[in-house]
Amino acid sequence: MSLTLEQVKRNEEVRAYIQKADESLIVLGYTEHSFAHVTKTAVTAARILREVGRDEHQQELAAVAGYMHDIGNVVNRNGHERSGALMAFDLLREMGAQPDEIAAVITAIGHHDEGTAFPVSDIAAALIIADKTDVRRSRVRNKDTITFDIHDRVNYAVEKNDLVIDGAAGEIALKLVIDTKVCPISEYFEIFLTRMLLCRKAAERLMLRFSLEINGQVMM
């Protein structure tokens, strides 16, 4: 029986690690990394592979990788991609996943963090794009922090986020509406330029052209 996202979502250990990891990140001052983020990442990663014509099994594995990609934060933010991959290895084995399924998921998790990220597989590429394009106002936990924290300010400024995928045309576009009264567009690039370049590289792996549009203007 093939591994499914629903199987992983029902696993109490996985849910506990996601919740406890996010609790640590709250203390450290990070934006939301709980069920909203990992679910959105899972759904988006699967959608990307669906739009480029990958089979349902690959889509499901991308969703699993998206859902589990941040569990390593329960250990420490630093190196969370490595610890998360190792945790996922044990968890998925206990769930009865096949070795090739486990390998696909942990490879993607292990290559998703900015410091070491690389689209070594289609699933890894989909995870990178899904994770790095999840910028939105609702990830900010405390509006007061936007006065001094640039990450919160940039996320809070995003009023609309639309990831448009056209597999037939070979294009993927992140379209944002940003409230420039909250932060100038330059601050978005100050924080997210590395992530957008990673998205471009990941899109190339999937034979797509990546573009970024902010307030109706194509920025890259």
Q: Which pLDDT belongs to residue 66?
A: 98
Span 86-104, pLDDT tens digits:
999 999 999 999 999 999 9
Q: Compute the distance between CA of residue 164 and CA of residue 173 in angstroms, rounded to an integer.
A: 5
The structure tokens 């029902």 sit at 10
Which CATH number do you get for residue 68? 1.10.3210.10
- pLDDT at residue 13 is higher than 80: yes
Span 146-189, pLDDT tens digits:
988 999 999 999 999 999 999 999 999 999 999 999 999 999 99
Number of domains in the chain: 1
Span 122-148, pLDDT tens digits:
999 999 999 999 999 999 998 888 988
pLDDT level of residue 1 (50, 70, 90 thresholds): confident
Q: In whole numbers, what is the pLDDT of the chain averaged over residues?
A: 96
What's the predicted TM-score (pTM) here?
0.96
Residue type at position 73: N
Q: Residue 135 is part of which domain span?
A: 5-218
Span 32-82, pLDDT tens digits:
999 999 999 999 999 999 999 999 999 999 999 999 999 999 999 999 999
CB-based contacts of 71: which residues, under 8 Å, 6+ apart? 14, 17, 18, 21, 84, 87, 88
Span 193-220, pLDDT tens digits:
999 999 999 999 999 999 999 999 999 9
Q: Compute the distance between CA of residue 143 and CA of residue 147 in angstroms, rounded to an integer.
A: 8
